[in-house]
Structure 1
Amino acid sequence: MALKTNPAALHDTYLRWEREKRSPYFPVIESNHENSVSTNMHDSLLMFGSCDYLGLSQEPALKAAAVDAIHRFGTNTYAAQLTCGHTRLHRDIETRLQSLTGMPAAIMFPSGMTASIAAISTLANEDDVVISDRLSHVCLFMGSQLSGARLRTFPHNSMRRLEAILRESSDRRRRVIMVDGLYSADGDYAPLDEIVALAERYDAKVVVDEAHSFGVVGPNGLGAADIFGVLDRIDMVVGTMSKGMGSIGGFILTSEEHERELRYMAPTYTSSRGSAPAVAGATLASLQALETQGEQLRERLAENTAFVTRRLREAGFNLLNTRSHIVPVVIGDEDRTVDVVNWLMDNGIMVSTFTYPHVPVGSGRLRIGVSSRHTTDECQFLVDNLVRAKQKFSF
């Protein structure tokens, strides 16, 4: 039975899954060991639902850095960063991000979501137009709404439609294009070389959310913009520490002018405390790990991803057009998707469950999060069980 698109029906569906004890959402993690977790419902699940793509959250150096930061600075910062500042760790993270990427300036936020909201809401106002891919992350749309700018969208990766909107918006003070570098539900990339070329032709700004790509892809591990060789031609790069970097927090890479504007004017920065010292300590250690181990970790991730996607495609799975470590397994019907997820957990595997409104109605899917820490045997165990699930549930 497909979900209806009105909020009341959506809520009723999620409640029905809870009443039927079928809901895969909000599992309680009791403990973890290497690539497995224990939950309130299952003793041991092989984790294939995580966004910890390089496995850095389990790196001993990050754990030790977090503990050391607590000893140095306590468990919290004093007040809003505007008035009481942040620690030396926070400033060192910004300095290292700037030097690592070659961007003029970097500013750290408490989360990737607050960074994305700040980017758009600070860059645009009611005299502007924000032009977004329809599959961009919800936080970019939230920032657009706060900005007061007119919002226009184009079909996913349609450069023809993007150019038409740019041409039609010449009367606006500023045109801001916002896209994800790597799309979190489909696993494909924005054609950033084409987007940047159009932006330069029509005098537009470009904001790219690299949440799922920074640290993980590109010749230097700097995300989708690194793959397309356009990092120095993008106005704002938004990133997060909560995925490839194994920590928590967000950041924006931009010009010095925009950085000062964000630091004084973005409410999600000025009215929020900085990340806890433990988080900052782990983040700084993760940046160090990316410099020393990043290439090796990315190579291993690419090998695991190729192994899983090749075997799943050979078995007839619909993986959309993924070209990355995000592997969507499309099932379609939402109830069937939930049944498959529960069956996988009963057989020792945890994956992420994507149903409406996170993906369109009728396109329910599993999102497989491949990690560089997975062994070949673990990847094969995943494939074998997905093949069994496909046969059992006929998708």
Structure 2
Amino acid sequence: MALKADLSALKDGYLRWEKEGNSPFFPVVQSNQGNTVTVEPHGDLIMFGSCDYLGLSQHPVLKRAAIEAIEQFGTNTYASQLICGHTRIHRSVEDRLSGMSDGRAAIMFPSGMSASQGVVATIASSEDVVINDRLAHSSLFMGSRLSGAEVRTFPHNSMKRLETVLRESAGKRRRIIVVDGLYSADGDYAPLDRITELAAAYDALTVVDEAHSFGSVGPNGLGVADHFGVFDKVDVVIGTMSKTLGSIGGFVLTHDWFERELRYMSPSYTSSRGSAPAVAAATLAALDLLDAEGDRLRRRLVENTESVTARLREAGCDLLNTRSHIVPVLVGSEDKTVAVAHWLRGRGVMVAPFVYPHVPAGSGRLRVGVSSRHTPEECEQLVASVTAAKKEFDF
């Protein structure tokens, strides 16, 4: 969601929790052994707080590919990609992404955030209107403001209000609808079937950030647009390598004309060095694994997710409207959410606490990231621990 600086939240919340010694933020990981991380001062914790949805970040094939790329190309690229280019590995990643998406042009960015900012800031201008879902990622709002376009919003997933804004914006050169495919704090999907219908009816462009869904959602693993069967109707798809692909970086899939505009004119691309060769190689290896094992891994992810969500709902937990491997457990107040997250770490389970201003005030939650790599026993420990915390803290 869009963020604004809130110094009172920093002083009265985050800094106070640090002083009290129960802050769950900025944990220091000493080592990583698959699904278990060693975090000071808690010791070994089962990781349920990450976005490593298919468990690829610890895969030996990715590690080996990264090491080999360092040996061949060194630890970084040379300068701006506009001037000094990138390696053949980077080009192979772009070619592979293009092939996965039926020939769409693909361009790698150094991060998902720079991709989101770059897309919106480049595609829109002062003659246009950018229409954001109010829970869209902060990077999309940042790009919207940088573009100089009029910025409008609609309540989360409200198609009635979106249509009203589209109708009211008839005089603009471009109307650009900007949404997440899968919302990272709520776990629900954008109704892209309906959004693309409205875009066609009102001659609007659609930009979809599939950061949390590319590789893990849809029959072809292309995200929520793939899930709804409308991938070909979305104008710009933004993705990241740092979630399902187990690497780092961002990418864009779009029409040829816009890919060239991004590559030559987007500051977050032209003024940034390309991803390290090791990162590009790990990404390419992850795409190979998705091609070979993606269907199996996604089925396993669904099984784990259904098991966890069913058991947590039986225990009376409020999981909002999640329909994905992002499982938010609503707690309520910021203080209680932080206390619960800290308590769970003391019992061997690490989840991600989301509090204001990253979610609306009073709607603090534990964000559980389920992975295909989690075992039934680990899922059982998660459910048992959260259920015990619910009784202990009454949420």
Q: Which residue is equivalent to 1:225?
A: 225
Q: Which residue is equivalent to 1:160?
A: 160
**Cα distance in 1 between the residues matched to 2:149 and 2:70:** 41
**Cα distance in 1 between the residues matched to 2:196 and 2:158:** 14
Q: Does 1:345 align with 2:345?
A: yes
Q: Which amino acid aligns with 1:11?
A: L
**Cα distance in 1 between the residues matched to 2:290 and 2:101:** 12
**Cα distance in 2 between the residues matched to 1:309 and 1:160:** 30
**Cα distance in 2 between the residues matched to 1:53 and 1:8:** 33
Q: Is the 8 A contact 1:128 1:172 kept in 2?
A: yes
Q: Is the 8 A contact 1:329 1:368 kept in 2?
A: yes
> Per-residue CA shift, 1:224-257, capped at 9, x if unaligned?
0000111111110000000000000000000000
**Cα distance in 2 between the residues matched to 1:99 and 1:341:** 42
**Cα distance in 2 between the residues matched to 1:137 and 1:202:** 24
> Per-residue CA shift, 1:185-238, capped at 9, x if unaligned?
000000001000100110100000000000001001110000011111111000
**Cα distance in 2 between the residues matched to 1:156 and 1:80:** 38
Q: Which residue is equivalent to 1:44?
A: 44
Q: Which piece of structure 1 moves more, 307-316 or 37-46?
A: 37-46
**Structure 1 runs, 4 residues or longer, greater than 6 Å off:** none
Q: Which amino acid aligns with 1:128?
A: D
Q: Which residue is equivalent to 1:304?
A: 304
Give the 3-state SS of the residue equivalent to 1:274 in structure 2.
Answer: coil
State how 1:46-195 maps to structure 2 within 5 Å. Answer: 46-195=46-195
Q: Does 1:7 align with 2:11?
A: no
Q: Which amino acid aligns with 2:48?
A: F
**Cα distance in 2 between the residues matched to 1:65 and 1:134:** 39
**Cα distance in 1 between the residues matched to 2:166 and 2:103:** 26
Q: Which residue is equivalent to 1:290?
A: 290
> Per-residue CA shift, 1:269-297, capped at 9, x if unaligned?
00001000110110000000000010110
**Cα distance in 2 between the residues matched to 1:14 and 1:61:** 39
Tell me: CA distance 1:6–1:56, structure 2 relative to 1, closer, same or farther (3 Å): closer
5+ long unaligned stretches in structure 2 = none
State how 1:9-28 maps to structure 2 within 5 Å. Answer: 9-12=8-11, 13-28=13-28
**Cα distance in 1 between the residues matched to 2:138 and 2:10:** 19
Q: Is the 8 A contact 2:6 2:357 kept in 1?
A: no
Give the 3-state SS of the residue equivalent to 1:318 in structure 2.
Answer: coil
**Cα distance in 1 between the residues matched to 2:34 and 2:252:** 31
Give the TM-score of the pair, scaled to structure 1.
0.98
Q: Which amino acid aligns with 2:142?
A: M
Q: Which residue is equivalent to 2:329?
A: 329
Q: Is the 8 A contact 1:117 1:144 kept in 2?
A: yes
State the shift of 1:104 in Å: 2.1
**Cα distance in 2 between the residues matched to 1:52 and 1:193:** 27
Q: Is the 8 A contact 1:317 1:330 kept in 2?
A: yes
Instruction: Give percent identity, aligned residues only.
Output: 65
Q: Which amino acid aligns with 1:209?
A: D
**Cα distance in 1 between the residues matched to 2:41 and 2:85:** 42
Q: Which residue is equivalent to 1:279?
A: 279
Give the TM-score of the pair, scaled to structure 2.
0.98
Q: Is the 8 A contact 1:103 1:253 kept in 2?
A: no
**Cα distance in 2 between the residues matched to 1:253 and 1:276:** 21
Q: Which amino acid aligns with 2:10?
A: H
**Cα distance in 1 between the residues matched to 2:60 and 2:386:** 32
Give the 3-state SS of the residue equivalent to 1:178 in structure 2.
Answer: strand
Q: Which residue is equivalent to 1:371?
A: 371
5+ long unaligned stretches in structure 1 = none
> Per-residue CA shift, 1:94-120, capped at 9, x if unaligned?
000000111420000000000000110
> Per-residue CA shift, 1:301-329, capped at 9, x if unaligned?
00000000000001110000000000000
> Per-residue CA shift, 1:357-381, capped at 9, x if unaligned?
1100000000000000100011001
Give the 3-state SS of the residue equivalent to 1:359 in structure 2.
Answer: coil
**Cα distance in 1 between the residues matched to 2:5 and 2:235:** 37
Give the 3-state SS of the residue equivalent to 2:31 in structure 1.
Answer: strand
Give the 3-state SS of the residue equivalent to 1:44 in structure 2.
Answer: strand
**Cα distance in 2 between the residues matched to 1:193 and 1:245:** 25
Q: Which amino acid aligns with 1:23?
A: S
Q: Is the 8 A contact 1:215 1:222 kept in 2?
A: yes
Q: Is the 8 A contact 2:181 2:189 kept in 1?
A: yes
Q: Which piece of structure 1 moves more, 5-14 or 276-285?
A: 5-14
Q: Is the 8 A contact 1:103 1:255 kept in 2?
A: no
**Cα distance in 2 between the residues matched to 1:43 and 1:19:** 21
Q: Does 1:198 align with 2:171?
A: no
Q: Which amino acid aligns with 2:174?
A: R
Q: Which residue is equivalent to 1:355?
A: 355
Q: Is the 8 A contact 1:103 1:254 kept in 2?
A: no
State the shift of 1:8 in Å: 2.4
Give the 3-state SS of the residue equivalent to 2:295 in structure 1.
Answer: helix
Q: Is the 8 A contact 1:328 1:368 kept in 2?
A: yes
Give the 3-state SS of the residue equivalent to 1:322 in structure 2.
Answer: coil
Tell me: CA distance 1:103–1:209, structure 2 relative to 1, closer, same or farther (3 Å): farther
